[in-house]
Amino acid sequence: MASLTRVRKTARKSDDDRRAEFEQRVLAAVEELLADGTPFTEIAVQRIAAASGSARSTFYRYFPDKSRLLVRMAELATADLFRAAEYWWQDEHADEQAGVVAAIGTMIAGFREHRFLLLALAEVASYDRDVGHYWRSRVAAFVEIVRARLESEREAGRVDPGIDPAATAVVLTSMVERSIATAFARDSGPDDEAMARALGRAIWLIVYGDAPDR
């Protein structure tokens, strides 16, 4: 007699899993299309859809316009970059300057992996309202993390009491952002390790170089 118990079929992928896979395909396609020097604004949606193996209708269901496409691709590409930096600013700094060099090294490695997309993001953010708002908001959130840490370090007496947390947070964040973007905008320049050491040293000296006793 045949068993009445049916073998359960493999569960279908959830909507979240399907979306994540689709977004990763689109990210890879966009970066491949940007790699030949074509500006983001000149890449047609149809080309992106075709390169990612997606129907145009599917593409528009997830990304109603190219601004939202670029914002979402930037979110995916910068997640690890910001995570590494945020972790260092919220950590105990027991490994001192070596720790910030390692964190910056992780950021630089992530930027290199997504170089063309992030350079496109910087360009489009200068004139596209939605993309610009996204990037300014993301950077502002990071600046706030840095400001809060500097504030707590000042209250604990671990940095110079004359440091201005808000202004210093803006300086540090802008320095890292522009330094990395400038280095990667050219085909030649300092290697990644040298950039990480230089930025790490600069950050450490700005924050703790004139600390009372550390």
The pLDDT averaged over each successive group of 10 residues in the chain (214 residues) is 48 78 94 93 93 90 92 93 91 90 94 92 94 96 96 95 97 94 80 95 95 71
Query: Which residue is associated with the tokens 């790490």?
Result: 200
Tell me how far apart the alpha carbons of residues 170 and 193 are, in angstroms, rounded to a whole number: 24
pLDDT at 213: 67
Tell me how far apart the alpha carbons of residues 144 and 157 are, in angstroms, rounded to a whole number: 20
| Main-chain phi, psi angles of 180, to 5 degrees | -65, -45
Q: What is the pTM of this model?
A: 0.84
CA torsion angle 187 194 181 137 (round to 10): 160
User: Which alpha helices (H) appear in the chain, and where do they start and end?
Assistant: 15-34, 45-51, 56-62, 66-90, 96-113, 115-125, 129-155, 165-184, 192-208
Of 98, 109, 86, 110, the closest CA to residue 201 belongs to: 98
Tell me how far apart the alpha carbons of residues 139 and 87 are, in angstroms, rounded to a whole number: 15
Query: 109 in helix, strand or coil?
Result: helix
pLDDT at 198: 97
Distances from the Cα of 132 to the Cαs of 39, 60, 199, in angstroms? 17, 21, 25
Exposure b/e, 55-66, CB count within 10 A at least 16 = b: eeeebeeebeeb
pLDDT at 214: 58
Contact indicator for 152, 90 with CB cutoff of 8 Å: no
Length of the chain: 214
Tell me how far apart the alpha carbons of residues 161 and 17 are, in angstroms, rounded to a whole number: 49
